[in-house]
Each structure stands twice: as C-alpha cells, then as structure tokens.
Structure 1
C-alpha cells in the first residue's frame, strides 16, 4: 500500500473519531445563540465543556499514537503515554491500570503501545478493565495489554490486520490502527501475539529488542 493511500485511511479514521464531539460543540454554540433560558444555557455549557474535553483528549492520544510526537526527542517518557491513554478513556467505562517498569520508550515503541491500547480498549463494548504492562526483560522489552469485561468483541478483521494475515487492499479506516501497529512492529523488530484467556478476556502482547 502506498503511503499516501494509508495516510488517507488514517485521516478518515481520525475524522470518524473526532466528528461526534466536534459536531456537539458546533450544535451547542448554535443553541446558545438563540437560547435565553438560563437553566438550558447552563446545561448546554456543560455539554460544550464535555465535548471540548473529549476532543482535546482524543487529539492528545492520536498525536502520540498516529503522529510524529513532535516536541519530544527520540524517546518519549512513559508518563506521556499514560496521560494519553487515561485521557482517551476518561469519559468511558474502561478502568485503566497502568503498570510500566520502564521510564522511557522510543517513539515507534510508544506508537505500537498506544495502538495496542486503542484496539484492546475498543473491544470492551460495555466497559471493563484494562491492564497495561511494560517490562524490561534484559534483551527485550515486553508490552502486555490485557482487557476483561462483560462483553468483549475483538473483530476478526482487526485481529487479521494486527497479526499480518490480511491483504493490504482490504485495509479500511476501522482496521488502520491495527495495520499501523503491525508495520511499526516490523520496523522495530517486534513480534505481536494475542492470547485469549476466556470469552471475556484477552491479552495483546508485543516484544521487541531493548537495543531500540
């Protein structure tokens, strides 16, 4: 797949994820322009605040997960990745348990980590728990993202894209983050796997050389 084609898919994914909160902001401003009732204006202002926060949180996450992480050096503090992950799920029913054992990761590894977080989190249809672990094993760095919930659906097409079992022409905006994670993994020499614990729980893992 050409870079420009994949960029278009990723942009479509970004627009899909941002259009709802941005649209809510536009609608709220339109209502405020014609609304005189103070109680209604207060409620609309609350909606605007929530939508603005949601937009900001998603952009903060996508900056690290999809972008070039401008403003950082070759390595990014894990604290920044944690802030981004917690912000993404702040308004959801997903409880994030962050357990890193390293302080810094290079930009590509951060991108891989956050895309695994995004993919795993989206499988928690009714919310649940997500545990994120990053462990230094000496020669390798191990990433584990484990989710558990009442209703967990990890679509086959996402799994196939993540594990490299799909034709590039079949990639679509929904599976673009999985395709990105797979390509970043190949770039840094990482292996990706998925381990099912039950119908309500699984772990996405990635291991890459610590010399990165």
Structure 2
C-alpha cells in the first residue's frame, strides 16, 4: 500500500466531509434566518431550504456509507436494486443525469463497492455536467461493470488515473485522488481488474471480476 492506513482513513474522511459541507452549511443559513424575524416569505424560503438541504445531506450520507462503509465489504452479495435507487437519488441533486442499464440483480459485495466508487469517480470527471451511464454483463463466472461519463470537458485527471492504477500521484494523494485509490485497493483484494478509457468528452471506467 502506497500510504499508511491512518492517512488513508484521514483522506477518505476529508472527502466525505467535503461533500457534506454544502448541504450542512445551507441548513445553518436557514436556521439563522428562522432565528430572526424576517417575515413570512423569508420563513417559508428558509423552511424550503431546510427541507431540500436535509434531503441532500441524508442521501449523500447514504451514498457514502454504501461507497465506503461496512455494508459493501466482506463475503456475501449486494442487491443492486437498492444501490440503483440510492445512486439515482444521489446523482439527482447534481448536474449529470444517471442512466442505469444494469439488469444484473446481485453482485459480490466487493463489486458493489467498486461500482459505487466508480460512479463517484465518473461524477468527478464531469465539471460541466453531462451523463453517467452504468452498464454490465455477466457471462458464466465473469462479471463486467462499467461506468461511462459523457459531457463537456469530461476529463480524467492524471491524479485520478494514477489512483485507479494503484500508483502514487505526482504530489501525493489528496481527498480526491485517494478515493479512486480505494477502488483500486478493493479491486486488488477481490482479484478484480480496473481499466480506464478516455476519448473526447467521454470517460469509461471498467471493472472485471472472475469468480
């Protein structure tokens, strides 16, 4: 492993906190408005902000728990129907659209964990929005899952590519590049292969796993 466990935990925690800052800050702002007398219109706007921000925070926490938590480690399988609903709700609050074409019902927990991480990587590749497409096939003992990110200025940053390949990015890991590195560690432990293909405004992230 290129970094020690404590640093890995610290950087993943930083990534989770970073993603939660926006909805939590919005909640704080709304509560400040409610604490003062700004009139009925402002109070209604504050309540709407509380409802939307609380919803965003809740779905982000659920998604992060599925991506980084204990529910997708160890032996056993994961129901992709549950993860599909979660991923749709998570992406709905962001710029890209999500198209889920998977017909596979269950996959090993490690594959589910990798898939969620690849969706997160795909989102990071789309600074101007676009589309995330999830596909997969299962033939006998071979499982292939792919996440394709398409959009204006779709880019796979060198540090993210390095993390997916299990390499140390130039300048070291940060909260963004360590997350694809976690996907690499999960894939390595499960004896799965990761690949990334990049073309104009299109990034394809692929996981292959043999039983």
- Taking structure 2 as the reference length, what is the TM-score of the superposition? 0.92
The equivalent residue for 1:204 is 205
- TM-superposed deviation, 1:18: 0.6
Indicate if the aligned counterparts of 1:101 and 1:136 stay in contact, CA closer than 8 A: no
Tell me how far apart the structure 1 counterparts of residues 7 and 168 of structure 2 sit (CA, whole Å).
Answer: 16
Q: How many residues align?
A: 208
Residue 154 of structure 2 aligns with which residue?
A: 152
Distance 2:89 2:157 in 1: 24
2:52 aligns to what? Answer: 50
Structure 1 runs (4+) greater than 6 angstroms displaced: none
Gaps in structure 2 of 5+ consecutive residues: none
Superposed, 1:21-36 pairs within 5 Å as 21-36=23-38
- The counterpart of 2:8, out of the listed 3, 6, 9, is 6
Aligned counterpart, 1:99:
101
Identify if the C-alpha distance between structure 1 residues 54 and 193 changes in structure 2 by more than 3 Å, giving closer, same or farther.
same
Alignment of 1:102-113 (within 5 A): 102-113=104-115
Name the Cα RMSD after superposition: 1.9
Tell me, in whole angstroms, the C-alpha distance in 1 between the residues paired with 2:79 and 2:49.
Answer: 32
Q: How far 1:187 moved relative to its partner?
A: 0.7
Shift in Å, 1:137: 2.0
Query: For the Cα contact (< 8 Å) 2:130–2:150, is it kept in 1?
Result: yes
Q: CA deviation at 1:128?
A: 0.8
* Aligned partners of 2:26 and 2:50 also within 8 Å: yes
Structure 1 unaligned blocks of 5 or more: none
